[in-house]
Amino acid sequence: MRRVAIIGAGMTPFGEHWEQGFRDLVVEAGIKAISDAGISGDRIDAGFIGTMASGRLIGQEHIGGLIADYMGLTPIPITRVEGACASGGLALRQGFMAVASGLHDIVVVGGVEKMTDLGVNTVSDILGGAGDQEWELFLGATFPAIYALMAKRHMLDYGTTEEMMASVAVKNHRHGAKNKYAQFQSEITIETVMKSKKVADPLKVFDCSPITDGAAGVVLAPLELAHSFTKKPVEIIACAQASDAIALHSRESLTSLKATQVAGKKAFDMAKLTPKDIDFAEIHDCFTIAEIMAIEDLGFFPKGMGGPASLEGKTALGAELPVNTSGGLKACGHPVGATGVKQAVECVWQLRKEAEGRQVKDAHIGLSQNVGGSGATAVVHIYKGT
């Protein structure tokens, strides 16, 4: 298996893009990534694009063909990848495998979603289809309710408090305020979170990631060729995916995501590293409780200590493990198909020492964790600066 590197990265600002459509966003991110790699379109062998629900959100299917057309990449094969909110991370995994196997040399990977053209209730129902439609969504359990159940159980078992969850939002907004691509670039307080309207007890508005438009892209190449394109390639040293039951009622635990645990262990084994070797992490914080569970499931903190660690500032910039320096899904935004690729872009910028205003000191190893639905899919990547 060949070693794989990211040689180019780019993204659109995340937010509400009333002046841009789906194809505008993906073309902008793709051009930025390809330009950053310093290559022309005729050097690209294949592409993979992550998007979750373009058919229902904008009425457009056949995304691979659309992007090949509008990016000017025909007849290069472009393949759509769907894994709910993990679509972007899974597209990156497909690109990684294509290059690692030797099937292709230069692969472009993208993620995109245009979500704000529809009302909140409609979008919530569409996203709910990433869970068990028959046993959850049909009975009214959208994702805020499902993650609220996880939060309640975590509070019961480990003494996690609403203030601990609120501290995750406060930290991620502080990071997002330093990111010009973030949807929300203003800081908040724990009091702001605690006084915000409840969505599904104990989760409040500021515990939840927003509805977002945006796109992100990276360009992959074999590591042996990477230095011929860029002076700062970033190697993907681990790539792992795992699955779990799609419905919450079929899981072994309400306070852990088994798919994250399994994918994380596989990634650490592949990289021959431990959680202590990670300098920073981009975590799938669709809800504040999700970040707390993830930093536990990945082994950064013992089970039940993710909440106290967050409240004590151990995951903030300048602390022992900076988490979500981009602002995470909570502040940077969550255009579901783009999130996993955005995480990779942030890791590239950190490892190339290009994360303006939010640079992690002595960053050498980064990790990203992208989740589909309420945990039925998880993909973990580990990155190394070269």
Residues 351 and 376 in one domain: yes
Half-sphere exposure (Cβ direction) of 237: Cα atoms closer than 13 Å: 21
Show which of 176, 201, 234 is a domain's final residue: 234
* pLDDT above 90 for 237: yes
Contact 217, 108 (CB under 8 A): yes
Cα 226 from Cα 175, distance rounded (Å): 30
Instruction: Give the 3-state secondary structure of 241-294.
Output: EEECCCCHHHCCCCCCCHHHHHHHHHHHHHHCCCHHHCCEEECCCCEHHHHHHH
pLDDT at 332: 98
> Quick check: 48 and 79 in contact, CB under 8 A?
yes
347 an active-site residue? no
Task: Kindly state whether residues 30 and 160 are assigned to the same domain.
Answer: no
pLDDT for 342-380, tens place per residue? 999 999 999 999 999 999 999 999 999 999 999 999 999
149 and 221 in a common domain? no
Q: Catalogue the long-range contacts made by 200-206 (C-beta closer than 8 Å, 24 or more residues apart).
A: 200/144, 200/145, 200/147, 200/148, 201/148, 201/152, 202/148, 202/151, 202/152, 202/155, 202/162, 202/165, 203/144, 203/147, 203/148, 203/151, 203/165, 203/287, 203/288, 203/289, 206/166, 206/169
- Same-domain check for residues 129 and 275: yes
User: For 52-91, what is each residue's pLDDT tens digit?
Assistant: 999 999 999 999 999 999 999 999 999 999 999 999 999 9
What pLDDT does residue 177 have? 98
167 with 57, same domain: the answer is: no
The dihedral formed by the CA atoms of 194, 17, 77 and 230, expressed in degrees to the nearest 10: -80
CB 17 within 8 A of CB 214: yes
Task: Report how far residue 168's alpha carbon sits from residue 290's, in angstroms, rounded to the nearest whole number.
Answer: 10
pLDDT value of residue 71: 95
Asked if 286 and 148 count as a contact pair (C-beta separation under 8 A), the reply is no
Return the closest-CA partner of residue 350 out of 234, 267, 270, 181: 234
Residue 298's pLDDT band, with cuts at 50, 70 and 90, is: very high
Q: Is the pLDDT of residue 327 over 90?
A: yes
- 380/332 same-domain check: yes
Residue 17 is part of which domain span?
A: 4-118+212-234
Catalytic-residue membership of 227 = no
Pairing of strands 365-372, 280-282: parallel
Same domain, 17 and 145: no
362 in Cβ contact with 279 (< 8 Å): yes
Give residue 383's pLDDT.
99
Does pLDDT of 277 surpass 90? yes
Q: What per-residue confidence (pLDDT) applies to 190?
A: 98
Number of H helices, E strands in the chain: 14, 11
Q: What is the pLDDT of residue 225?
A: 97
The SS3 of residue 32 is helix
| Number of compact structural domains in the chain | 2
Q: 276 burial class (0-12, 13-18, 19+ CB within 10 angstroms)?
A: exposed
Regarding whether 133 and 81 lie in a shared domain, the answer is no
Angle at 86 between CA 83 and CA 90, to 5 degrees: 75
Question: What is the three-class DSSP state of 4?
Answer: strand
In a shared domain, residues 152 and 258: yes
Q: Within this chain, do residues 58 and 87 fall inside the same structural domain, yes or no? A: yes
Task: Check 85, 286, 332, 347 and give the catalytic one.
Answer: 85
Compute the distance between CA of residue 326 and CA of residue 355 in angstroms, rounded to an integer.
9
CB 6 within 8 A of CB 69: no
Of 182, 199, 234, which residue sits at a domain end? 234
Torsion of CA 323, 315, 371, 130, to 10 degrees: -110
Same-domain check for residues 196 and 66: no
Average pLDDT for 161-181: 98
- Give residue-wise pLDDT tens across range 123-136: 999 999 999 999 99
Residue 269 predicted with pLDDT over 90 = yes
> CATH no. for residue 282?
3.40.47.10
Residue 386: pLDDT band with limits 50, 70, 90: confident
Residues 65 and 74: their CA atoms lie apart, in Å, by 8
pLDDT number for residue 239: 98
How far is Cα 332 from Cα 10, in angstroms, rounded to an integer? 15
Catalytic residue among 17, 104, 284, 334: 334
Residues 30-48 pLDDT 10s: 999 999 999 999 999 999 9
Give the 3-state DSSP-derived string for 82-151, with helices as H, strands as E and coil as C.
Answer: CECECHHHHHHHHHHHHHHCCCCCCEEEEEEECCCCCCHHHHHHHHHCCCCCCCCHHHCCCHHHHHHHHH
Average pLDDT over the chain, rounded to whole?
Answer: 97
Q: Are residues 360 and 370 in the same domain?
A: yes
